[in-house]
Amino acid sequence: MARCLILACGNTLRSDDGIGPWLAEWAEERFASEPDVRVIARQQWTPDLAEDIAGAESVVFLDCSIGSAAGSVSMVEVRPCSVAQGFATHHVGATELLGLARDLYDSLPRTSLLLTIGAGSTELSETFSGAVLDAIPEACALLERTVVEMLSGQA
């Protein structure tokens, strides 16, 4: 199990929705020599990921946000929700995954953060919108800083 888990979500065929997997690929390369970092990118998050989360000291979720201004980079703390609340079987969010990790495996990461970039477009495309392209350096820097802090125990 990794000390720091980076868990990305998104569809690389839907323009800015693919920013999570793109950042995951960047992180995989950036932390290639760091055995305590594990990166998982999925088109959608599913309940089986709860076990990976339960085994991690810290987790960074990566996703695009359709509720934020295009290109805006945000990092927020995520708390587990109750798994008894109804939600879809085929897709779960970060809070539900944390809830599953707690309820099924009695374990939660010390730190759980969600990094999002506001989507400018989620139309069929394999390229990002201008706003998201401009935001990539800021997102990468924030992700790098966060992971380094997590590994040093500061986050």
Partner 1 sequence: MSQTITIDPVTRLEGHGKITIQLNGQGEVEDAHFHVTQVRGFEKFSEGRPFYEMPSLMARICGICPVSHLIASAKACEAIMSVRIPHTAAQLRRMLNLAQMVQSHALSFFYLASPDLLLGMESDPAARHIFGVVAAKPELGRAGIGLRRFGQHIIELLGNKRIHPGWVVPGGVTEPLAPAKRDEILKMIPEAYANIGLALGAYKQIAESFAAEANVFANFPSLFLGLINEDESVEFTDGTLRLIDSHGEIVEDGITAMRFTEVIGEAVEPYSYTKFAYYKPLGYPQGSYRVGPLARLNIAKSMGTPLADVELLAFKQLSSGPVWSSFHYHHARLVDMLYGIEKIEQILTDPLILDKHVRATAGVNRLEGAGQAEAPRGTLNHHYKVDENGLITWANLVIATGQNNNAMNKGVLQAAKHYVKDGKFSEGVLNRVEAVIRTFDPCLSCSTHAFGQMPLVLSLLSQEGEVVDQVIR
Assess 100 for contact with partner 1 (CB under 8 A): yes
Q: How many CB atoms lie within 10 A of CB 127?
A: 11
> Which residues share a beta bridge with 111?
58
Structure token digits, residue 125: 């495309």
Assess 124 for contact with partner 1 (CB under 8 A): no
Question: Is the distance from CB of 39 to CB of 8 less than 8 angstroms?
Answer: yes
How is the beta sheet containing 4-9 ordered, strand by strand?
37-42, 4-9, 58-65, 111-118, 73-77
CB of 84 to partner 1, least distance (A): 4
Choice between 105 and 121, CB closer to partner 1: 105
CB of 86 to partner 1, least distance (A): 5
SS3 category, 39 = strand
CB of 47 to partner 1, least distance (A): 6
CB of 83 to partner 1, least distance (A): 4
Q: How many CB atoms lie within 10 A of CB 80?
A: 18
Assess 96 for contact with partner 1 (CB under 8 A): yes
Question: Residues 84, 124, 126, 152: which binds partner 1 (CB under 8 A)?
Answer: 84
CB of 132 to partner 1, least distance (A): 24
The backbone torsions φ and ψ at residue 116, rounded to the nearest 5 degrees and listed phi first, read -125, 155
Q: Which stretch binds partner 1 (CB under 8 A): 47-55, 70-78, 116-124, 143-151?
A: 47-55
Contact residues for partner 1, defined by CB under 8 A: 47-48, 50-51, 82-87, 89, 96, 100, 103-105
